[in-house]
Structure 1
Amino acid sequence: MDDAQGKDLLDTAHEMADAAGAAILPFFRSAGLTEDNKLAGGYDPVTEADRAAEQAMRGVLARRRPKDAILGEEFGTKDGDSGLTWVLDPIDGTRGFVSGTPTWGVLIGLSDDTGVHMGMIDQPYTGERFWGGFGQAQMRGPMGTRPLTTRQTQRLPEAILFTTFPEVGSDAERAAFQAVAGRVKLVRYGMDCYAYALVAAGQVDLVIECGLHTYDVQGPIGVIQAAGGIVTNWQGGPAHMGGQVIAAANAALHAEALDILAGMSKC
């Protein structure tokens, strides 16, 4: 893609994030928020804010990029003929959203048959936006705009590791995660997509998760890769379709953690 195409795509992503944030914020920490549970026998909420945000983003695409395909968590797929697909998660971390914690975010990914080309993680309540692709890796927030660069931590005993749920996947997956967790300096839980943003921002070193969907990972992949990090599955292959995911700040740390995960778990 030339510079003009890349700029148009990034501008489109920024406009989508602005529209999603405007749709979401009136519902955040609102006593009138309504939700439905998508998981029989468990709890996986979807709210009116999720649906409003995805509709707002789809509206931007209908006006600016009508030939592009869309894959969204709430409203499924829309075919396109440009070869590009926008992958949307209007609120990643809805459990956090309904709890009032500012660790959820709007995820936007852009991919084609070769993989992810651009990603964005937006937290409209804190005013933080992280994006990467087409030669950019930046964030903006209350302290202004700055480049994104991942950390250079080289060894697990010096690393900070995040995952969303302590109960990671199957028994084998949980054992593999715990084997890595037992070697790092610090383990934290429950940050959803914000943890991936912190990898890109150079604050933490690893995120290890499993059971993810395409719309959970493509936005973070674009941001982290542009900032210098690595995102793969637990066998070292592509992660853009979801499943088992490891996001690492650099190649050395990725290799050390991957050696443990690949040896103890199966895809």
Structure 2
Amino acid sequence: MPPSPAELATLEAFALTLAQAAADVALPLFRARDLAEINKGNASRADVDFDPVTEADKGAERAIRALIEAHYPDHGIIGEEYGTLRPDADFVWVLDPVDGTRAFISGLPLWTTLIGLRFKGRPILGLISQPYLKEVFLGSPLGSRLVTAEGSTPLKVRDCAGLSTAVIATTDPHLYSGDEVQAFNHTRLAAKLIRYGCDAYAFAMVAQGTMDAALETGLKAWDIDAIIPVIENAGGIVTDWAGEPVGTYGGQVIAAGSPAVLTEALAHLSLAAKPADPH
């Protein structure tokens, strides 16, 4: 049986506690001039495969995992930095302690902490936290809202008639390859405006109603699980490029605030749709 509203409220409060624990680790390291990084990507293709990890990523995930183990020892965990624990549990937390590490090491306040919670394999709760800006975008069946020191504000996507009036975003156009390049370019050229380099923060702006769509390729579960409940419970739609629900491995993803924008974008993107890589 899915969690009751009371149980969801408790889990939401715990997710906010996890976000604060991650912030307590990451914020003191943000804009630190001596912060070291390791490239997890392909060093021979550093222009596109530079995939840095820092102590902010590792320390924040350790802090989150410790709290989950202490308070919900029967829950599973899937984390970017420290792997998988009890993945077949009914409840599984899916963690990206610093999404947008490139932004983090560049001193740009567009990185986020992503914390998602699956119930029986489906994301039901998620948050996108930007602690430098003191913003947490939280979503569950109880609704989506922006949580700040001043209180909570409901999140609602905006209606948009189609791509020609839409503001869209993607992290980096150079991450697309093969047929994806043409599909992305057709989508980009059909839109009113496209912004780059925002990582998961762009998805938060879709939920807030200041952007109309965000699209990516090559996502892992920890890149998207937390985002889905935020977008969907703000009235938006998240699918893969074939227009199907996003699978447990991530892959090609688009989130849109209106069905019209999604339909037009998928007319281009579906031509390059492919299954997510479980690895």
TM interval, short-chain normalised: over 0.9
TM-score by length of 2: 0.92
Shift, 1:145, TM fit: 2.4
Other-structure match for 1:228: 235
Counterpart in the other structure of 1:245: 253
Q: Given the alignment, which residue of 123, 126, 137 partners 1:119?
A: 126
Separation of aligned partners in 1, 2:272 and 2:77: 35
> Which letter does structure 1 place at the counterpart of 2:164?
P
| 1:203-222 paired onto structure 2 within 5 Å | 203-222=210-229
State the SS of the aligned residue for 1:138.
strand
Question: Which residue type is aligned with residue 117 of structure 2?
Answer: L
Question: Within 5 Å, which residues of 2 pair with 1:24-103?
Answer: 24-40=26-42, 41=44, 42=46, 43-79=50-86, 82-103=89-110
Deviation at 1:260, TM superposition (A): 1.7
* Counterpart pick for 1:14 among 10, 13, 16: 16
For residue 255 of structure 1, report the CA deviation from its aligned partner: 1.3
Q: Cα RMSD between the aligned structures?
A: 1.4
Provide the secondary structure at the position in 2 that maps to 1:167: helix
Aligned residues of 1:12 and 1:64 also touching (Cα < 8 A):
no
Structure 1 residues 114, 56: CA separation in 2 closer, same or farther (over 3 Å shift)? closer
Partner of residue 128, structure 1: 135
Bigger CA drift: 233-242 or 217-226? 233-242
Determine if contact 2:238/2:256 at 8 Å carries over to the other structure. Answer: yes
Question: Is the 1:68–1:81 Cα contact (8 Å) retained in structure 2?
Answer: no
Contact residue 99 and residue 111 of structure 2 kept, 8 A = yes
Q: Percent identity?
A: 43
CA contact (8 A) 1:159 1:185 kept: yes
Q: Is the 8 A contact 1:120 1:223 kept in 2?
A: yes
| Contact 1:176 1:265 (8 Å CA) reproduced | no
Whole-angstrom CA distance in 2 between matches of 1:58 and 1:265: 34
* SS of equivalent residue, structure 1 residue 107: strand
> What secondary structure, in the 3-state scheme, does the structure 2 residue paired with 1:257 have?
helix
Per-residue deviation at 1:134? 2.9
Contact 2:89 2:120 in 1 (8 A): no
Return the alpha-carbon distance in structure 2 between the equivalents of residues 144 and 83 of structure 1. Answer: 31
Give the direction of change, closer, same or farther, for the CA distance of 1:264–1:55 in structure 2 (3 Å limit): closer
Deviations 1:28-74 (A, max 9, x none): 00012121111122211000010000011011101211110000000
- The residue type paired with residue 258 of structure 2 is N
Distance 1:71 1:264, change over 3 A: closer
Distance 2:179 2:131 in 1: 37
Tell me the TM-score normalized by structure 1. Answer: 0.96
Which runs of 5 or more structure 1 residues have no equivalent in the other structure? Answer: none
Counterpart of 1:261 in structure 2 is 269
* Whole-angstrom distance in 2 between the partners of 1:172 and 1:211: 14
Check whether the contact 1:228–1:249 (CA below 8 A) recurs between aligned residues: yes
2:13 is aligned with what amino acid?
D
SS in 2 for 1:12: helix
